[in-house]
Structure 1
Amino acid sequence: MYKKFAFVLLLCTLVMSACGTSDQEAGDEQEQIRNELDPTRNDDTPNTFEEENRLGYVHYTKDQLRNNNENNHAVTMDRHKMADMISRIILRNDGFEEVATLVTDKEVLIAYGKSDGLDKNLAADIAKKSAVSVMPKYFHVYVSDNESLIPQIHSLHNSNTMQGASYQNTIQSIIKEMKKSPQGIENENK
């Protein structure tokens, strides 16, 4: 009798611990997503006045660039940091309540909530100029005060640019919806 009871107890313990692991992993995954989207995470703001005002400078010779490591070097952009920077710049302006920014390989999508006192066209101007001021010129910037687009943009935050037709269709659908809103003044230099 004791052996049967011990066996049942052991079996229940194993089953319960297996379920707990998957729940823990799901909780860890949710926590990771929350941390990635936390605007205070990785706050790279310089700590001192000296660091904030330091100039950027490098100097290389041709020989230094000829080594194997340099041949494999590729210029990259941290899209998350760019989206973070754009959102922070926009929110520093009066009248903006929330901003969601998505940076892809070709587009910047910005959806925002604004106060009633902020003119729609002025808000679009501010949002677009904020993005254009930090992004390379070849990026297309789309803005919208349609707050219902914020969850749609959020749904793409874990995507990558290599996900195929479904991803592209979603992006194009969001852009089509954004174009219904004022887009700000077009840049004359384009």
Structure 2
Amino acid sequence: MKTARVASIVLSVMILGACAANERQTAKDDGVYKESGNTINRDDRHDLYNRSNNNQNYGFVREVKSPVPDETADFGRGDALDREKTASIISKMTVALPNVLDSSVVVTDAEVLISYKLSETDNKTRFETSDQVKKTAMSVVPRWYHVYVTDDPALKQNVENIGSMDPYSSNKDNAIKDTIRMMKESSPQGRKVSETENENGESKEDRMINSR
């Protein structure tokens, strides 16, 4: 009786060990686990947000507030799987905010640029709306993203031009950097994100890198 129980325990351990080995091999074959031991690195997270590798363009969507109440705001969080869909969600959420009539959104691999039109342009409305628009975008994108907003109509075309580019455009980095600089100069960016991050979610290290 004792011998049979020992044999049963040994057999169970062997079965569990075989299952675990099989699961590790399957995970490795599926690309979930890397040889470095990291489960998901930044490049992998980038891929999760761009499941369709056939379209390498930046996501760009323009949304105009619908005259029918609540119709424009019909969106689903499960759509946020690539840049185009992420831009669509942010655009829909933005025009659902008070005082926002029009929203153009560009989502790159690290930034969100939003140009919007206001129904009221007093300083208080501009500041509060910029904070709302920024926080709306940050609620959708991964935490490493930086968000930049503008209500300056002169910069709307800049944002739309970036939206027509792809990651391999020769001047896209300079276009993005110059547009971000002008957005920050001409429009409020809302409140600081945290004690260690500025209004756009940039840390001190981020700002040093971006200034190069």
Distance 1:63 1:100, change over 3 A: same
The gaps in structure 2 that reach 5 residues or longer are: 1-22, 35-39, 50-81, 198-212
Number of residue pairs the alignment of both structures matches:
129
Q: Distance in 2 between matches of 1:80 and 1:149?
A: 21
The match for 1:128 is 134
Counterpart Cα distance in 2 of 1:186 and 1:101 = 21
Structure-2 change in CA distance of 1:176 and 1:117 (3 Å): closer
Paired with 2:115 and 2:121, the residues of 1 have a C-alpha distance of 18
Per-residue deviation, residues 27-81 of structure 1 (Å, max 9, x unmatched): xxxxxxxxxxxxxxxxxxxxxxxxxxxxxxxxxx434312256579943311111
- Cα 1:170–1:88 shift into 2, 3 Å: same
Moved more, 153-162 or 84-93: 153-162
Q: Which among 170, 177, 180 is matched to residue 175 of structure 2? A: 170
Residue identity matched to 1:64: T
Write out per-residue CA displacement over residues 113-132 of structure 1, whole angstroms, 9 at most, x where no aligned residue. 01116700011011100011
Residue 81 (structure 1) aligns with: 85
Aligned to 1:183: 189
Give the RMSD, CA atoms, in angstroms: 2.3
Q: Does structure 1 residue 64 correspond to structure 2 residue 26?
A: yes
* Residue identity (%): 29
Q: With the length of structure 2 as denominator, give the TM-score of the two structures.
A: 0.55
Q: TM-score, normalised by structure 1?
A: 0.61
| SS of corresponding position for 1:109 | strand
1:126 and 1:68, CA in 2 relative to 1: closer, same or farther beyond 3 A? Answer: closer
Structure 1: gaps of 5 or more residues: 1-60
Query: How has the CA–CA distance of structure 1 residues 65 and 151 changed in structure 2, closer, same or farther, with 3 Å as cutoff?
Result: same
Give the Cα–Cα distance (whole angstroms) in 2 for the partners of residues 126 and 144 of structure 1.
12
Q: Distance in 2 between matches of 1:71 and 1:159?
A: 33
Specify whether residues 68 and 182 from structure 1 end up closer, same or farther in structure 2 by C-alpha distance, changes over 3 A only.
closer
